[in-house]
A and B are shown apart, each in its own frame.
Chain A
Amino acid sequence: MKRTKAPHARKSAGNAPARFKVGDRVRVKDLPNMFYSRTQMYARGVSGTIAACTYQDLIPEDEAFNQEGRLEQYYIVRFRQKDLWEEYPSEKDTLQTEFPDRWLEPA
């Protein structure tokens, strides 16, 4: 059985430099959905803090259709629940989720 390396296993150093570092404040862009996205609506337009720089990988928008595509740095972003849901009752609680570079901008 012929096996090709999975796209997510390919590492391309230097191809997608990390624009952000842990602790940076970022805002999730509210871009139009072109065919496919893994950026949840609840996070669009909301600001949070980079909690981790995770890995470089294909962006979902390309990977959904192609084996080849653009590689980007991914980040885990930490949000205050209160910033995601206005009526959230606790100041303390948080939520983390992950985004490729293109979905984030400095806040």
Chain B
Amino acid sequence: MQTTHQHAGGGHEHKAAPTVEEITDFEVLEIAVRELAIEHGLFTAEDHRRFTEWAESIGPAAGSRLVAKAWTDPAFKARLLADGTAACKEIGIDWAEPTGFGTPSDYMNFRVLEDTPTLHHVIVCTLCSCYPRPLLGMSPEWYRSTNYRRRLVRWPREVLAEFGLILPPEVEIRVEDSNQKCRFIVLPVRPSGTENWTEEQLAAIVTRDCMIGVALPRPGRTADVHPVHKARHPVHSSPSMRAAE
């Protein structure tokens, strides 16, 4: 919230500036087409809301299960690398849903990019926001930002370092710009220290960012643990608080 300070007559007057909501031409177009479709009875507003609710509720859990299964089942991994779209059905993900031919942005050409100790993949869509939504859900805000999109293709090491991922120069970084109809996820290298883990345990450390390629899976680092950064000067340890005790 922005405020303006006016120094007149010795008093302070705070005026709240209104938040301006920007809307793009494409958003206007989407609303117009949607309202026309509802008027013509192609679907109802309730249908639209339910579809949106469903689409936005998809998370990265299916992708995590896919990676964990590939790590533990070499035959499944071979099938996954040969035909990603078909192998997804084995874990209950059908790229054809919900229309029978996918959606206008979730085409049925899914490929898995396998990392090795000397090769690291990372995905981006420089043209828009192409993302493997049936497996990972909606893309994060930063993935759609022009900053990430225009810089990852040109300065991948620097951008990965901004995510906290610094890779040694002997590891080849391969950027996959998914600007046509293939959709990708990264199959990271299974980290050491996870020997004899179950698929469920493994899936927990395969977070969304590991499958985009901006992070590496690590034992003990799971998506369901809220990261808390300890305060350096916690309020309950201040001298005045200690004096009061």
Residues of A at the B interface (CB closer than 8 Å) are 1, 3, 5-6, 8-9, 38, 40, 42, 52, 54-55, 57, 60, 74, 76, 78, 81, 84-85, 88, 90, 92-100
Contacts and interface: CB of A to CB of B under 8 A. Distances in A.
Chain B facing A: main interface SS: loop
Contacts of B127: 38, 40
A79 to B, nearest CB: 9
Contacts of B111: 52, 54
Given A1-B42, A6-B102, A54 B174 contact: no
Given A8-B107, A8-B181, A9-B108, A92 B172 contact: yes
Contact of B109 (A3, A54, A81, A90): A54
A25 to B, nearest CB: 18
A98 B126 contact: no
B10 to A, nearest CB: 58
A23 B217 CA distance: 32
Residue with the highest number of chain B CB atoms closer than 10 Å, among A1, A9, A88: A9
**How extensive is the interface on chain B, given as a class?**
20 to 34
A6 B101 contact: yes
A3 B99 contact: yes
Interface of A, helix, strand, loop or mixed by DSSP: mixed
A33 B79 CA distance: 39
Contacts of B169: 90, 92
Interface string B173-185: 1111111111000
B9 interface: no
B43 interface: yes
Contacts of A38: 127, 179-180
